[in-house]
A and B are shown apart, each in its own frame.
Chain A
C-alpha cells in the first residue's frame, strides 16, 4: 500500500469541498422553497437543467458573451420559478403535501420533455466561460471550474444568509416560514412571498445549473444531480440555508475521500450511510427546525 501523501490528501480535500459547494448551491434552491412554502420540490434538478439550457441558448445559440448570457439565464430561471408557483403550485394550496410532491415529480418530467423538444436529447457542452488554466493553492492543484464553483456558491449562500437577516423581503420570508397566519395578520403579502421564494429558488437553481453544466456538460437528464442535493438538504436540515452549505461541503468531502481511498463504488454507500446516521440522530437534519414533518 502506498504511504500517506499529505499533498494528495489536500488536493482530494479541496476537490471535495469544490464539488460539495455545487451540491450546496442546488440544496439552497431546495431549502428556499421548503422554508417559505413547505413544498418539497422534486423538480429542482430539472429547474437546474433548464437554467443550464437557457445559458446554452443565450451563449451558444445567440452568441452572447458570458457576462450577458449569465444574467439572462438567471433571470429566466427566476421567471420559470415564479411561473411554476403561480400556475401550478398556487392552485394546489390547501391540498395534501403528498399531492403537491407528486405534482413536482410530474413537473420534472414535463420540463425534461420540453427541453428534449426544444434542444434535442443529445448531450452537449456549454461554451467555456471559466477558462482552463489550473489553480494552485500552494502546491495543491484545484480544477479551475471547481474553484470558481466553490467561490460562487459560497458567495451566493452568504448573500442569502445576509439578506434573510437584513433585507425586508428576507425578513418577510422568515416570518412567513415561522407562521403563515401570523405573517398574514401583520400585513405581509404571503402569496407574494411564496412567489418570491420560488423565483429566488429558480435563480439559485439556474446558477447551480450553469456551474454544473460548465463542469459536466449538459443533457436533458442532468437533473439527476438534484437527487444528490436532496441528500444534502436532509443532512443539513430542510429549512436551513446554512445547513445546505454545511451539508453540501460535508457530503462533498465524504464523497471525495470515500471515492479516493475506498473506490468510486463506495461513494454512494458512504453518502447514504451518512444520511441514515443523521436521520437516526437528528431526524430534522443538522441545522433544521425540530418540528418539521417528514414525508
Chain B
C-alpha cells in the first residue's frame, strides 16, 4: 500500500510540496550532520579563509593540506591510522574562525589545527592551552608567535616575519656591505610586525636605514611615498605587510624617476603567478621565500615532482605553505606514535621539536631543524620578467648558522 503524505488539515500534498519538503528535510539533516571523524583517525582541523580578503591564499592552502593528507593516506596512513582533514571557511574573520574552531573541535578528536590569521592564533591561544590536546600552525608568520613559553602549542611552518627580514638583511650584507635601506610597511599589525627587529638587525649588520615609510591600509596612490623614497635614495627598499598593491606602482614610479634602488618583499608578496600578471614592471623584484617554487626541478626535490604529477598546473606559494604545514603535522604524529605516546599537545610539540636536519622532500632547499617555534630558513629569489619566473639568488640562508 502506498501512503500519500497529508498536511495537518488532512489535504493531500501536491508532488511539488512533497519534493520541497523532501529537499528541506535533506538539507536540515545535512546541516545537522557535519563531517565526523571515524574512531582511530588522526584529525587535522582547519579555519581556512576560502573567501574574503585572504581567499587568494586560502584556496591554495586548502589544496596543499588536502594533497599531503591524500599522499599520506594512499601510503597507508600513519602507523595504519588514516588522517582526516576537516576544513571550514572563515571569510578571514576572527569571530567566524573561532566559531569554526569550536564546531570542528567540539565534534571531532582534533590533534592538529590550521589557523587562518595572527588575530585568530592569538585569540584562541588560551583555549588551545586549556584543551592541551592539539597543536596549531597556520597562515601567520607573526614574530610574536615565535615564543614557545607564551605559545607552547603553536608553531610557524617557516621563519617568522622578523626572521624573513633577517634573511634579506644577511643577503644584502653579503652582496653589498654598508648598503642603505628604506623600510616600507603597511600600517597594520601585519606590516608593523618586523620593524623593531629590522632596525636592530640592520644596526648589527651595519646597514643604515635611510628612511622609514608607512602606508595606510586603504591607500592606492603612492606618489608622495615615492617622492620620499627619491629623497632618501636607498640601495634597497624592503616592503612588508603587502600582497601585491601598491608594490607595482611603487616600482614603476621609482623607475620613472630613475631610482636605482632594488625592491624586496617577504613571503606573502612572493607568489610567482601574481608577479607574472604584473609583467615587465615586476622585473628585478626580489624577496625571501621559505619554500621552493612549484616549478623547481632540483634533483633533491622528489616531493615537488609528486606535486607536479598530482597537479599539472602551477600551484601557489600558499599551496606550498599548506602542504609543508600538513607534512610537519603528520611527521609529529608519526614520531609521537612511534614513541608509543598519546596524541596530546605536549607530546606532539615535543615530537615536532625533535626534528633535526629533517628532509622535507625538497619543499625547503636545506634540511630543517625545528628546535623552537619556527624554521629560520629562507632563500632570496628575484623575478625575471623574460622567464616569467622567480629565480633563486645565492644559497639558502639559515639564520644563526650562516650568519656573518
**A residues at B contact (CB < 8 Å):** 8, 11-12, 15-16, 18-19, 22, 113, 116, 120-125, 132-134, 141-146, 212, 215-217, 219-222, 224-225, 227-228, 256, 259-260, 263-265, 267-268
Which B residues from 186 to 218 make CB contacts under 8 A with A?
Answer: 187, 213-218
Question: What are 19 of the A-B contact pairs (CB < 8 Å)?
Answer: A15-B223, A116-B51, A120-B56, A122-B274, A123-B244, A123-B274, A125-B278, A134-B256, A141-B257, A143-B223, A143-B226, A212-B220, A216-B220, A259-B224, A260-B227, A263-B214, A264-B215, A264-B225, A268-B216
Q: Chain A residues near B253: list those with CB within 8 A.
A: 134, 143
Residue B384, interface by CB 8 Å: no
Q: Chain B residues near A216: list those with CB within 8 A.
A: 219-221, 245-246, 249
Question: Which of A116, A122, A133, A260 contacts B256 (CB under 8 A)?
Answer: A133
**B residues at A contact (CB < 8 Å):** 51, 53, 55-56, 59, 187, 213-221, 223-228, 231, 243-246, 248-249, 252-253, 255-257, 273-274, 277-279
| CA of A246 to CA of B264, assembled, Å | 37
Question: CB-nearest residue of chain B relative to A117?
Answer: B51
Q: Assess A264 versus B248: contact at CB under 8 Å? Given A16-B224, A19-B220, A216-B221.
A: no
Question: Which of B216, B227, B273 contacts A15 (CB under 8 A)?
Answer: B227
Question: CB-nearest residue of chain A relative to B253?
Answer: A143
Question: Which of A8, A22, A215, A220 contacts B249 (CB under 8 A)?
Answer: A215
| CA of A221 to CA of B278, assembled, Å | 18
- State whether A122 touches B220 (Cβ < 8 A): no
- State whether A132 touches B274 (Cβ < 8 A): no
- State whether A264 touches B216 (Cβ < 8 A): yes
Tell me the smallest distance from the CB of A111 to a CB of chain B, in Å: 13
Q: Chain A residues near B245: list those with CB within 8 A.
A: 123, 216-217, 219, 222
Q: Chain A residues near B249: list those with CB within 8 A.
A: 145, 215-217
Q: Assess A121 versus B256: contact at CB under 8 Å? Given A216-B221, A265-B214.
A: no
Tell me the smallest distance from the CB of A92 to a CB of chain B, in Å: 26
The list of the 8 closest CB pairs from A to B, nearest first, reads: A264-B214, A15-B223, A121-B55, A216-B220, A19-B221, A134-B256, A217-B245, A123-B244
- State whether A260 touches B228 (Cβ < 8 A): yes
Tell me the smallest distance from the CB of B266 to a CB of chain A, in Å: 16
Q: With contacts A18-B223, A134-B253, A263-B214 known, what are 6 further pairs, Cβ within 8 A?
A: A121-B59, A141-B227, A143-B256, A216-B245, A222-B220, A264-B187
Q: Chain B residues near A15: list those with CB within 8 A.
A: 221, 223-224, 227
Q: Chain A residues near B51: list those with CB within 8 A.
A: 113, 116, 121
- State whether A124 touches B231 (Cβ < 8 A): no
